[in-house]
Structure 1
Amino acid sequence: MELSGDDLAGVVDSFGALTRGELRDALAELAFKQGEDADSGTFEDLIDEAIDGYQLISLDTTESGRDPLLVVGPSAFPTRPEGTQDLRHILDIGEREIDRERAGEAAMERLREEAALAIEMGNTAEIERLIDVSYDIEAWAPVTLDEIRSHLDESR
C-alpha cells in the first residue's frame, strides 16, 4: 500500500491526534481493508518520513503518562485514503482536541534544533527547506519565528 505523508496526515486528522502505535494500527487496518497484508510495524519508515517533512508533529504527553501524540503538521495537505472514515469506529478511538498553541511551540522547538544543526553543518539545502517550513509553521500556529528565520537567512 503506497501512502504519502499527506495520507498519514489525513488519517491522523480524522481523529485529531494519534499515538504512533495507534497510527500504525490504523494504517494496518487500511491495508487490510484494501486486501493487502501488512502488520503495523511496516509503517515506521512512513511515519518517520511524515514527521521529518513536518506533515506530522509529535507532541510530548509523557507528563500525563501517555505516549506522545502525532498531530497534523504545518506542511501537510491532509488527504484521507479510502476506508479512513470507518477507522474511528473500528479502532474505538474518540476524537481528540489539539491545543494549537502547544503544537506550535513543539514545531517551533523542533525547528530551532534543526536550524542550529543545519547552520552548524553548513547545509544550505536544509537551511532553505527550514526557511520555507518556518513560514508554514507561522501560518499554522500562533508563533513567531522571525529570530530563527533570521539566523537561517544569515547562514545561507
Structure 2
Amino acid sequence: MLQELVLLNISSNSLNGSIPAAFGDLKIFVLLDLGVNQLSGGIPDALADASSLMLLFLDQNHLTDGGSETWIPKFQLIHLVLGANNISGLIPPWISTQYDIILIDISENQLWGELPSWVSSLEYLQYISIAQNMVGGVIPPELFNSQSMVLLDLS
C-alpha cells in the first residue's frame, strides 16, 4: 500500500463510485483532492483515521453525505472544500472540531437549518462560503467579533 503517500490530486477526471475507505489507512497523508469528478455517496467513516490530513477537496461531485452526525475525525484541516455537491441536512457538525481551519466552502449543496454558533469559535477561520443552500435564521452576533474573518458568503 502507499503508506508514504503525502499528496494525492486526482481532480478533474471522470472518477465515479464512492470514495475508497482505504484513504483512512494513509497516516502521513496531507492533501486529498478528488474535486471535479463524479463521485457519489459520502465521506467514508474510515477517512477519520487519516490523522495528518490538512487539505480536503471534494467539490463538484455528487456526494450526498458530508459525514455522520457522530463522526469525529482525528485530523485537523486547514482547508475544507465540499462545494457543489448534493449534501443535504444540517451543516456537518464535525466541522466544529476543526480548530485550525482557515477555509470552509460548503456552498451549492442542499444544507438547511441555522448557521451554527460554533462557526464564530473557529479562531483561524478566514473564509467561509455557505452560499446557495437553504440556511436561514439569525447570523450569530459573535461572528462579527472575529479578528480573522475576510470573507463570509451567505448569498
Superposed pair shares fold, TM > 0.5: no
**Which structure's relative contact order is higher, taking Cα pairs within 8 Å and 6+ residues apart?**
1
Q: Which has the higher helix share?
A: 1
Q: Which has the larger radius of gyration?
A: 1
TM score, norm. by length of structure 1: 0.36
TM-score by length of 2: 0.36
More strand by share: 2
